[in-house]
Amino acid sequence: MLKTLKMSNSKMRVQDFKLSDAAGSHPNKVPFKCVLFTVDQPSDGSPSGAGGKLIRISSSVCDQYLQTFVGMALNIDYAAGMSDHEPRFKVAVIDKAYRSMDGCAWVEGYIYGKDFPDVVATIRYYNGLAAEYNWSEYQFGASLEMEASVQNAADMENVLDVLEFCGTGAAILFADAAAYKSTSFAAKNNKYIKEDVEMTPEQIKAMEDGLKSLAESMSTITASVQNVVTEVGSIKSDLTNMKAAKEEAAQKTVEEQAAADLKAAQDKTTALEKELADLKAGKTTVTPPEPERKTVSAANLLSKYGKTEENSATDYKTFCASVDALNLPSSESMRLKFQAKAQFEKESV
């Protein structure tokens, strides 16, 4: 059986609810981003319709039914102090729903800013107080509205597990009145709008002092940035000069090497020209002929063996017979015969 549940009446800590003035956006759309609940943990308070018990929505149930919030509206009990639900005063619509990795169920959409300028101005005013003075009680959160099927949790007393649900909407309200502590309601560009809300002289002076301090800080930052720019320019100039000097030195080395090579070539040319001139003038030194090598006659080859009677051998055949008569080792005999043959052939030329 489905029960109608409205999450409210429990204190919580939330992030800022910020409104957008983005240029170029639709004049009647002020984007918002809202965490409705966290999965797998009990709510911090008992919603209306839960009989005083807390509720818990698992991640699987969230993933299955979270899209039912798409197209539903957000309401605000603006006239009664923004602490409860007012379904008949709808000021926004949900057009996107998803679960983040950290276990939060998010919805996004837009507030009808042109239709409800007083609501937007009020939210901006209290957002400014919460941001400037850290007054968490003035931060805005969101409280979901759903029809759900529940059962008693098996592991925790006083907790109902949601088995299925259908989102029917949500309410924008102060953090003190919402149910989940991790719930937040966020939109873009939180700031004061003087023309939308009436501010006290003290608040105006505080804002002007803050703007003056901001302007002085910006001037200091601008001067510091200018100094950095000047220093960077000086460093860049030094680097350029160093690069030019390095290139000049490299060019000079190349030119010096080329000059040395040219001088060596010129010296070699001069030496060759001088040598040519000396040749033409007949001053070149003539290399003497290599002395004629002395040869040993066939008769002398036998004389060292004591065979003087064969010294008169006049032909190779007679010489060979004389060598055989010596009974020399074959190697020595052959050597003598080869030497004699060469000698006889030379003499016959």
Q: pLDDT of 208-248, one tens digit each?
A: 676 666 557 666 766 766 676 677 777 877 778 888 878 87
Residue 219's pLDDT is what?
A: 63
> What is the predicted pLDDT for the residue at 196?
41
Dihedral of CA 82/88/89/93: which sign? positive
CA distance 48 to 7: 6
Give the C-alpha separation, 121 to 151, whole Å. Answer: 42
Q: What is the pLDDT of residue 215?
A: 59
pLDDT attached to residue 326 = 81
pLDDT one-digit tens code per residue, 235-288:
877 778 888 878 877 777 888 888 888 888 888 888 888 888 888 887 655 555
Which pLDDT score, from 0 to 100, does residue 11 have? 35
The DSSP call for residue 148 is E
What pLDDT does 349 receive?
62
Measured CA distances, 194 to 78, 128, 199, 286, 309 (Å):
20, 11, 7, 118, 152
Contact assessment for residue 150 and residue 74, using Cβ atoms and an 8 Å cutoff: no
Q: What is the pLDDT of residue 303?
A: 72
Quote the CA–CA distance of 285 and 8 in Å, as a whole number.
125
Q: Which two tokens stand for residue 215?
A: 């302007």
Query: For position 212, what pLDDT does the model report?
Result: 64
Cβ burial 283-310 (10 Å sphere, 16+ → b, else e): eeeeeeeeeeeeeeebbebbeeeebeeb
| Beta pairing partners, 291 | none
Residue of 60, 61, 86 lying closest to 75 (CA atoms): 86
Sites in the chain below the pLDDT cut of 50: 1, 8-17, 23, 179, 181-197, 293-295, 310-311
Amino acid at 289: P
Distance (Å, rounded) from C-alpha 257 to C-alpha 255?
Answer: 5
Going by the DSSP 8-state scheme, the letter that residue 288 receives in this structure is: P
What's the confidence (pLDDT) of residue 310?
A: 45
Q: What is the spatial distance between Cα 258 and Cα 246, in angstroms, rounded to a whole number?
A: 19
CB of 49 within 8 A of CB of 3? yes
Contacts of 88 (CB under 8 A, 6+ apart): 75
Q: Where are the domains of the chain?
A: 2-198, 298-348
Cβ atoms of 162 and 57 closer than 8 Å: yes
DSSP type of residue 324: H
Hey, what amino acid is at 67? Answer: Q
Of all helices (H) and strands (E), which one includes residue 265?
Answer: helix 201-280
151 strand-pairing partners: 161
- Give the helix/strand (H/E) hosting 94: strand 90-99
pLDDT at 290: 55
Q: What is the DSSP letter of 286?
A: P
- What contacts 229, CB < 8 A, 6 or more positions away? none
**SS3 for 50?**
coil
Residue 145: name the closest of 101, 103, 88 by CA.
88
- The rounded percent of the chain whose pLDDT value lies above 70 is 70
What does the pLDDT read at residue 115? 93
CB 182 within 8 A of CB 84: no
